[in-house]
Structure 1
Amino acid sequence: MSESYGVIAAVVVLGLAGLLGAFALNKALTVTYPTEGKLKTYESGVDPVGEGWAQVHIRYYLFAYLYVIFAVDAIYLFPWATIFATLGFATLVEMFIFLAFVAVGLLYAYRKGILRWT
């Protein structure tokens, strides 16, 4: 029994040695010339201006939340639709109940004005 632990320990040690060796070889073969331009922060081709802190309006979080709701809806709906014929009528009723809950949520979001972009 203890012999198998020795094999596992040897494999782990050899794996770590290989990993550390690869990192050391990469460090030894890398040529770097750190200049002021290379050390400057790069942001999509534009020089960064101002602070790195920006507040986001809560409306964007609501759109993200609505997206997650409809993504989950799609996750349930598409696989169900592919095997609908084998499941029967009861699952059709259950899916319409599920879609009714999603529709009520969408109606609520519409009535609260969440879906308006302005």
Structure 2
Amino acid sequence: MYFTLLIVVILTAIALVSIALGIARAISPSSYNIQKGESYECGIPTRGNSWMQFKVGYYLFAILFLMFDIETVFLFPWAVVVEDLGINGLFSIIFFLIILVFGLAYAWKKGALEWK
């Protein structure tokens, strides 16, 4: 019973995605121009090679920002229902915050927060 329902759902999903992609390809304009393949940066034409390496520090800062940004997203719903959760909810959020503090301490120890 459930297996056939799963097969029907998967086949329906594949069919709908295929139909949507086919319609998009059929009605989309298709013209090629050399300028479409060029790199574009703020209206200024690029000079030289547009592929360049960035310092890994930029990525570390971005990942740390996302980590603590998501932390606040998880804290808001908890703050709304803190009275209903009781002591178990308090311990779970303390455990969550301890993990995040350990992650911040590890990043600090590794020098990920230093801008060089």
For the aligned pair, the TM-score class normalised by the smaller chain equals 0.5 to 0.7
Larger radius of gyration: 1
Aligned residues: 93
Aligned residue in 2 for 1:46: 44
Query: What is the RMSD computed on CA atoms of the aligned residues?
Result: 3.0
1:1-118 mapped onto 2 (5 Å cutoff): 23=27, 39=35, 41=38, 42-118=40-116
Residue deviations 1:25-50 (CA, integer Å, cap 9, x gap) = x89xxxxxx8x9xx484421212111
Gapped regions of structure 1 (runs ≥ 5): 1-11, 28-33
SS in 2 for 1:44: coil
Gapped regions of structure 2 (runs ≥ 5): 1-15
Structure 2: distance between partners of 1:95 and 1:68:
19
Using the aligned pairs only, state the percent identity.
36
How far apart are residue 58 of structure 1 and its match? 1.2
How far apart are residue 63 of structure 1 and its match? 1.3
TM-score by length of structure 1 reads: 0.62
Relative to structure 2, which stretch is displaced further, 40-49 or 104-113?
A: 40-49
Structure 2: distance between partners of 1:43 and 1:72:
30
Residue deviations 1:2-54 (CA, integer Å, cap 9, x gap) = xxxxxxxxxx9xx98xx68x948x89xxxxxx8x9xx4844212121111211
TM-score by length of structure 2 reads: 0.63
How far apart are residue 96 of structure 1 and its match? 0.9
